[in-house]
A and B are shown apart, each in its own frame.
Chain A
Amino acid sequence: MKRGIKHYIIYGGVAPVMRVLTGLNDRSALTALEMMGLDILVRESIDVVDVYGEWGLVVARMGEEEYRRLLSMGVKAEPEREYRLVGAGSGLPWNLAMIGWSRDLPYTGRGVTIAVVDSGVDPKACGLDGKVVYAKSFVPGEGPEDLHGHGTAVAYVAAGSDDKYGGVAQDAKVASLKAFFKDGTSLDHIILRALHETLNLDVVVVNMSFGGPGGPDAPLSRAANMLAARGKVPVAAAGNDGPERGTVGAPASGELVIAVGAVNKQRKVTDYSSRGPVDGLIKPDLVAPGGDRRGLVVSAKPRDAPPIGPPVDDCHVGVVGTSFAAPHVSGAAALLYEATRSIVATRDAILNTAEDLGEPKEAQGRGLLRIDRALGQGQKINGGVEVAASFLGLIGLAAVPLLGILSAAAREAKIERLRTLYRTGQITYTQLYLLYQRGEITLEELNKILR
């Protein structure tokens, strides 16, 4: 083979004639090429590889010299272009490509801060330089530095930014609330303090990549619910106790907490990802890339801790777990909030646009996080509260504002009615949440409706 020989696309531009080429033998094909004025290919002994009559294209192999000669003779041609599957070789890490993330998204999390309640975050780790705007330790006797490595990796997936890999909300900031000891464990009273502190910070999203025993009534689940009630988006890892059913713990089991399970590179819910349901609630709420041995999520490694996974290079490590699925959603929430300025719209857009992977609800929840779809919906419902209010009018709930002055029996009946409407899909979570925000229903009633 001559050096430099490549495939070229030659445009016949005579579609009706080309159409007859399909399926013809060589002699007929040569005749047809002559009819098209492309008999030059024959004369130049160019290797015709394929003729696509339907599209008016000829694929031929030749060297650069022959190609230039064709051009000089007025033949329209160009070198074959290179295409890649999105995600397979698009230059994006698989986990970002899978959720519909791209470098062209109109939102990057600018102006949004994500609270990472974890083992601390190294502010100088790869991709996190300049992002950590707040750092405090709630762990007795320890400073805010990440001595474990987990928090840094989580923060990177949510908001890391570097040329090589990177996270979801690359212009978002990070508030690090260290609540876990070096050995990766913690206790209610420490975590409660950290969660409570987020109420005093200008953070929109609270990422909780940890868990323990307990259902929706456990202290951490209820505390995380209250974050939602106070204008935050609480996101929690579902846990790594699958594939048994009913293994989602606290705080992921909180009704208003977005619980995130894990899928692998093959878009399958991983065995380890915890399954619902929890006390009648569908959990997890959705899934995102958490990886497994066949495909790790690449994240950052802190300077002060040993790597928590196989090193990828000097400052990146491969990690696995629902811990790293959750910050995909937290990052997405930052993008959605930047787009909508509404936590209700943010939450709804994330949940309502998840891609159904065809797996059981107890494994996938609503499906796979899809940022591209969520941003599409988020922009449509920008100003979601107003939109939700108009929905309320449409479904004939004009009497709902009277809830506050109804008798106990009538109120109970109204709550039951809302419950039925929710279960039959006639009203959405957004609308219920709006009622809660307006003080028309209590958190307890909201929980009752959602169950």
Chain B
Amino acid sequence: MSYVKSGDKYIARGVEGLDVVVVENGAGGPDEIPLNRRLILTVEKTEVVEKLKEKCDVLDVLDFGGEVFVVLAPGPKSVKAAFSTPGVKRVDVERIYRLHEKGD
């Protein structure tokens, strides 16, 4: 399996059904995903979740009725599963958010 960088996206080659992978928060590519961060996957349908569960720890599945998000535990098993499971549309490294009060 290999990845081709396209803008901020990595197109996975060699895995049928694995489309676009996005790696953010400083990671230069799938190989640089920090292993201490959860992954937020967007999947085509909930059946994909069962395949992911066979490969790694699935912490949460949140179906918004058109977008299904899957939260994976941090670690190498999750990274490998995220980048090798057909039906995964997108992978995000979990971001940190802040309240928008203006403190200064």
**CB-contacts of B77-104 with A (<8 A):** 90, 92, 94-103
Q: Does A431 interact with chain B (Cβ within 8 Å)?
A: no
- Closest Cβ of chain B to A197, distance in Å, is 10
* A245 at interface, CB cutoff 8 A: no
Within the complex, what minimum Cβ distance (angstroms) separates B16 from chain A? 21
Residue A218, interface by CB 8 Å:
yes
Contact across chains for B66 and A229 when beta carbons are under 8 A apart = yes
Contact B100 A226 (CB under 8 A): no
B101 touches A220 (CB 8 A): no
Most buried by B among A192, A238, A320: A192
B97, A192: Cβ atoms closer than 8 Å: no
A193-232 vs B, Cβ < 8 Å mask (1 yes, 0 no): 1011001000000000111111001111011011101100
The answer to whether A192 and B95 touch across the interface, beta carbons within 8 angstroms, is no
Interface status of A323 (Cβ within 8 A of chain B): yes
Chain B residues numbered 4-52 whose CB sits less than 8 Å from any CB in chain A:
22, 24-25, 38, 40, 42
A321 pairs with B97, CB closer than 8 A: no
Checking A185, A199, A217 against B98 with a beta-carbon cut-off of 8 angstroms, the contacting residue is: A185
Selected contact of A192 from candidates B62, B65, B99, CB within 8 Å? B62
CB-CB < 8 A to A213: which residues of B?
24-25, 95
Question: Do B102 and A210 have beta carbons less than 8 Å apart?
Answer: no
Q: How far is the CA of A177 from the CA of B98 in the complex (A)?
A: 15
Judge whether A220 and B97 touch: CB under 8 Å.
yes
Q: Is the CB of A196 within 8 A of B96?
A: no
| Interface size in chain A (residues, C-beta < 8 A) | 52
A226 / chain B contacts, CB cutoff of 8 Å? 64-67
Smallest beta-carbon distance B101→chain A, Å:
4
Q: Is the CB of A321 within 8 A of B102?
A: yes
Number of A-B residue pairs, CB cutoff 8 Å, is 127
Tell me the minimal C-beta distance from A26 to chain B in angstroms: 58
Complex Cα–Cα for A238 and B102 (A): 12
Q: Which residues of B contact A292 (CB under 8 A)?
A: 102
Q: Considering only CB atoms, which chain A residue lies closest to B20 in the complex?
A: A217
Q: Which of B25, B69, B95 contacts A223 (CB 8 A)?
A: B69
Q: Does any Cβ of B come within 8 Å of A272's Cβ? A: yes
Partner of A323, one of B24, B71, B96, B100: B100
CB–CB A239/B100 < 8 A: yes
B62 near A119: Cβ-Cβ < 8 Å: no
Residue from A195, A211, A217 whose CB has the most chain B CB atoms within 10 Å? A217
Q: Are the C-beta atoms of B22 and A217 separated by less than 8 Å?
A: yes
Contacts of B25 in A (CB 8 A): 213
Q: For B90, give the chain A residue with the smallest CB separation.
A: A217
Q: List 29 A-B contacts (CB under 8 A).
A: A185-B96, A186-B96, A187-B95, A187-B96, A188-B92, A188-B97, A189-B59, A189-B60, A189-B94, A192-B62, A199-B64, A209-B100, A211-B100, A212-B96, A212-B97, A213-B24, A214-B24, A214-B95, A218-B24, A219-B69, A225-B67, A226-B64, A240-B101, A272-B102, A290-B102, A321-B101, A321-B102, A322-B102, A323-B99
| Interfacial residues, chain B to chain A (CB-CB below 8 A) | 22, 24-25, 38, 40, 42, 59-60, 62-67, 69, 71, 90, 92, 94-103
Known pairs A193-B62, A212-B96, A290-B102; list 19 more (Cβ under 8 Å): A118-B99, A148-B99, A184-B98, A185-B99, A187-B96, A189-B59, A193-B60, A195-B64, A210-B97, A210-B98, A218-B95, A222-B42, A223-B64, A226-B65, A226-B66, A250-B95, A322-B100, A322-B102, A323-B100
